[in-house]
Amino acid sequence: MARAPPPPHTDKEAEALRLAADGAHSREIAAELFLSVGTVRNRLSSAVGKLHARTLVDAVRIARDQGWV
């Protein structure tokens, strides 16, 4: 069985992506991870870029399809 390639995003970005995938908004993610909303937005934006996605929804779909979230 083939393994999924390693994710291009960091563990911290993956953590924010997982919460976003569960439907959490930036403020909820920030509260959960004890971060500022700006930091959460930066992490999500970085993950979107690294996954070559156009939107956060696309990034979540790509991450799920690859088994990263």
**pLDDT band, residue 1 (cuts 50/70/90):** low
pLDDT score of 4 more than 70: no
pLDDT score of 59 more than 60: yes
pLDDT at 47: 95
Half-sphere exposure of 10 (CA within 13 A, CB side): 8
Cα(41)–Cα(52) distance, integer angstroms: 16
pLDDT, tens digit, 9 for 90 and up, residues 24-58: 999 999 999 999 999 999 999 999 999 999 999 99
pLDDT score of 2 more than 90: no
More confident residue, 1 or 20: 20
